[in-house]
Amino acid sequence: MKSFLVALARGCWGLLLIAAAAAPALAQPLRLEAAQGVLDAWPAVTVLPDADGSLDVAQVRARASAFEPPDTPHANLGRRSDTVWLRLPLVLPADAPAQWVLAVEYPSIDRIDLYLPGAREPVSLGRAVPFSRHPLPSAWHATPVTLEPGRATELLLRVQTRSTMVLPLTLSTPEAFLARESRNQLLQGLLAGASLCLLLYSLAQWVSLRDATFLAYSLSLGGTAIFFIAYFGLGPQHLWGDQPWLALHAAPLSVLLALFGGCVFIERVLGVRQVWRRVSDALRAVAGISLLAALAFGAGLIDYRVAQSMASVLGPLPMLLAIPVAWRRMRAGDSVGTTMLVGWVAYAVATLTMAGLLRGLVPSNFWTQHSFQFGAMVEMVLWMRVLALRIEDLRRAAQRATVERDALRSLAHTDALTGLPNRRGLNEVLQRLLPAATPERMAAVFLLDLDGFKPVNDRLGHDAGDELLVGVARRLESLLRSSDTVARLGGDEFVVVAGALPGDAEAQALGRKLLEAFRQPFDVAGQEVRVGLTIGYALAPLDGRDALGLLKRADAAMYAGKQAGRDCLRRGQASVGLAGV
């Protein structure tokens, strides 16, 4: 485990250091060729720091010799608190078009003032400028510029930001800019749409299952999605427009909320509390700090740089804290641990790249700007796989609970010896059957008492007696329809319930059938034994509709039959013997 993490860290930081080590080339004027469509302007840029932001454009022009090529990775000046001036010399061939678009393809810049040749006022760009005042309705900070072909000129840019000074400057023909912007919008739209689908699915599962894990995932995913919407400029362009508070607060605030949700999600899906209590406490602490930082930043108690620093420091902690737990679960053959570790490999590479970009250690390009977005998307998709496994676990747990509940219910409603319904089970059968009884479709309740059971039990023993009772249960079941019920009340008393009988004659016929069946002996403990029946019965609705009343009437009839000599069928005071009297 340790060697794996060390190798991963060394490999990632090795890539970052290689990228950062490239020495800047000497700045040369940028030659604008229409055939190229899009030109990277950074190689031609020189910079002039303005520590207190007091220089005006005239003073800057007078200090042209003080500009120097940047000694940082490509298009990345890192985190700076000062104002920076950029000088961009241009050469336009005589056949070059006059119309171009200058763009800073990094939306998280607060303010950019562009000074064009001959213009008295600068063109203001940046997220601190209301979106409606941007020269072009683009997610990037872009403005059209008109240049004079056949002449050399220069552009001056004054840059201020609380974020990292990532400045991927391009000059494009209008057609090339529109094509490039469209591809960017398509990519961000697809990724935002995927995030929205995952978010709606997880929220639906939370509403359906009432499992807080899905809500935590939704918060993490939603915060991450809002961060990218703000980070890549789609928020002001498509959602909140001229809302400066959201423009300046959405990105760090959403990251802190996503961290809170991610900590809760990781703790729940990995069962960290049951595996490693201290790690669980640490995850809860990170979640609490993230939430408090988000609230403090939203209330204006901490500034942008503090919030960004806290998000950068806290961001990797949930992963680093939970890796040992996920490793244990993977070693135990748990696919949740394996899936989380695979997701964290992608997230680790993405996070290190993003951290390097924000710290000014890596060059700005498409892959470094989008690495965290791609890595976070991979992680979120794999987390969705973890949620699918959790749904399966919840389903299995529900099935186990159902089986256990049914088993307990069966034990409570079933006679342990014969497997027949007991008194409680019989009451349920009668409660279902009796309300539907009519004079045309009657229900009969037969109470059966065995004649001669006690001598067999005394002579052969209790085990033989139990065997005989089981044999009686099986014989009674074999004589009845599938819709009829046999129950054992206890001892040698049984109850037969038959429904949908046209009249008393059919009930008597069934009773005589039961009496006749017991003419055949039973094989008990290797011996033939004989027992008879005395049966009392009652009919619903003729003799009543309540279960207790019918059983009492049947019991009275059966007792009268016992007193009259046994081996008979009685209903009330009417007696029907074996001969059909």
Render 516-548 in DSSP notation, one character per residue. Answer: HHTTS-EEETTEEE--EEEEEEEEETTT-SSHH
- On the question of a cis peptide bond just before residue 541, with omega within 30 degrees of 0, the verdict is yes
The pLDDT of residue 553 is 92
Do the Cβ atoms of 573 and 539 come closer than 8 Å?
A: no
| Residue appearing with tokens 């000046």 | 77
The pLDDT of residue 380 is 86
Q: ∠ CA(552), CA(554), CA(557), 5° rounding?
A: 110
Torsion sign over Cα 395, 400, 401, 407:
positive
SS3 124: strand
Do the Cβ atoms of 247 and 128 come closer than 8 Å?
A: yes
Q: Please give the structure tokens belonging to residue 31.
A: 């030659």
Q: pLDDT (tens digit, 0 to 9) for every residue of the chain, 581 residues total? A: 444 444 444 444 444 443 444 434 456 889 988 778 899 999 999 999 999 989 999 899 999 899 999 999 999 999 888 999 999 999 989 888 989 999 999 998 999 999 988 777 899 999 889 998 999 999 999 999 998 888 889 999 999 998 899 999 999 999 999 999 999 999 999 999 999 999 999 999 899 888 898 999 999 999 999 999 988 988 888 888 888 788 888 888 999 999 999 999 999 888 888 888 899 999 999 999 999 999 999 998 998 888 888 888 888 888 889 899 989 888 888 888 888 888 888 888 888 888 889 888 999 999 999 998 898 888 888 888 888 887 887 788 778 877 777 777 777 788 888 989 999 889 989 999 999 899 999 999 999 999 999 888 888 888 889 999 999 999 999 999 989 999 998 889 999 999 999 999 999 999 999 999 999 999 998 889 999 999 999 999 999 888 988 999 999 999 999 888 888 999 964 334 333 32
Q: How far apart are CA 317 and CA 307, in angstroms?
A: 16
Q: How far apart are CA 46 and CA 67, in angstroms?
A: 5
Using alpha carbons, list the distances in angstroms from residue 26 to 40, 180, 474.
Answer: 15, 28, 101
Say if strands 532-540 and 569-571 run parallel, antiparallel, or are unpaired: parallel
Q: How far apart are CA 345 and CA 8, in angstroms?
A: 8
The pLDDT of residue 304 is 85
Does the predicted model carry a pTM greater than 0.85? no
Q: How far apart are CA 533 and CA 339, in angstroms?
A: 67
Q: ∠ CA(197), CA(289), CA(268), 5° rounding?
A: 50
